[in-house]
């Protein structure tokens, strides 16, 4: 029987206490079903969402091992496709992409985190955010300095879309969840 969102959320919460990481997990969970609809050709949107939710589940407790522990746990649960996508998103492992879900997780993970960061410094949050503003912030190496710009560039290229359209896609996926994610702004 496939993993449920409730099981995935329970595992995430068991291993992750950091509120920022929990918000990041939720934000990537929100974007991945939209990616399934756009790129997945009838893919299981719930599975893609669970992949987004769990992709960094072991990072809070074991950053040096990430994502080995969550990958091992997923394999124990019989979730090989999710486990592989999570493995692929660790670019240091140099694995090839096997599925569109693998490519989408990589292309959505860093960029989603970066878009959230952009929203947090804007009084109006995500409401008026446009790709050109995100691109401008990408050029500022001091802003969200831990975000790997090269992963954003190469993953969008791997997905086969242009950066502006992918940024807009992420913005559009996040907007309905702005209040929950804390990116609605102060207006």
CATH of the domain at 73: 1.10.3210
**Mean pLDDT computed over 121-140:** 96
Q: Which residue has the higher pLDDT, 128 or 92?
A: 128
Within a domain: residue 187? no
- Looking up tokens 């769990």, which residue turns up? 54
Measured from the Cβ of residue 85, the count of other Cβ atoms closer than 10 Å reads: 30
What does the alpha-carbon distance between residue 33 and residue 53 come to, in Å, rounded to a whole number? 11
- The answer to whether the CB of 70 falls within 8 A of the CB of 86 is yes
pLDDT tens per residue across span 89-118: 987 888 999 999 999 999 999 999 999 999
In this predicted structure, the answer to whether residue 187 has a pLDDT above a threshold of 80 is no
Within a domain: residue 17? yes
Question: Measured between alpha carbons, how far is residue 5 from residues 14, 22, 36, 177 in Å?
Answer: 14, 14, 16, 17
DSSP type of residue 54 = H
Within a domain: residue 186? no
Within a domain: residue 170? yes
Within a domain: residue 46? yes
Number of domains the chain contains: 1
Within a domain: residue 109? yes
Identify the band that residue 65 occupies on the pLDDT scale cut at 50, 70 and 90: very high
| Angle, CA 17 vertex, CA 152 and CA 69 arms, to 5° | 65
| Token digits of residue 159 | 């997905």
pLDDT tens per residue across span 156-170: 999 999 999 999 999
Percent of the chain surpassing pLDDT 90: 93
Within a domain: residue 19? yes
pLDDT tens per residue across span 71-92: 999 999 999 999 999 999 987 8
pLDDT at 186: 83
Long-range contacts of 141-150 (CB under 8 A, 24+ apart): 143/117, 144/113, 144/114, 144/117, 144/118, 147/110, 147/113, 147/114, 147/117, 148/110
Within a domain: residue 102? yes
Identify the band that residue 131 occupies on the pLDDT scale cut at 50, 70 and 90: very high
- Boundaries of domain holding 169: 5-181
């Amino acid at each position: 029987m496939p993993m449920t969102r409730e099981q995935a959320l329970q595992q995430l919460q068991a291993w992750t206490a950091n509120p920022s990481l929990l918000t990041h997990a939720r934000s990537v969970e929100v974007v991945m079903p939209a990616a399934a609809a756009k790129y997945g050709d009838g893919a299981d949107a719930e599975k893609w969402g669970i992949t987004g939710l769990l992709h960094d589940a072991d990072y809070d407790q074991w950053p040096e091992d990430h994502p080995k522990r969550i990958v091992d746990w997923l394999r124990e649960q019989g979730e090989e496709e999710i486990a592989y996508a999570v493995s692929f998103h660790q670019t240091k492992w140099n694995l090839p992409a096997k599925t569109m879900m693998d490519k989408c997780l990589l292309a959505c993970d860093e960029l989603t985190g970066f878009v959230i960061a952009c929203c947090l410094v804007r009084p109006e949050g995500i409401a008026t955010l446009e790709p050109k503003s995100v691109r401008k912030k990408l050029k500022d190496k001091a802003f969200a300095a831990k975000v790997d710009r090269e992963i954003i560039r190469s993953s969008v290229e791997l997905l086969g879309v242009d950066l502006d359209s992918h940024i807009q896609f992420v913005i559009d996926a996040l907007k309905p969840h702005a209040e929950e994610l804390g990116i609605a702004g102060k207006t």
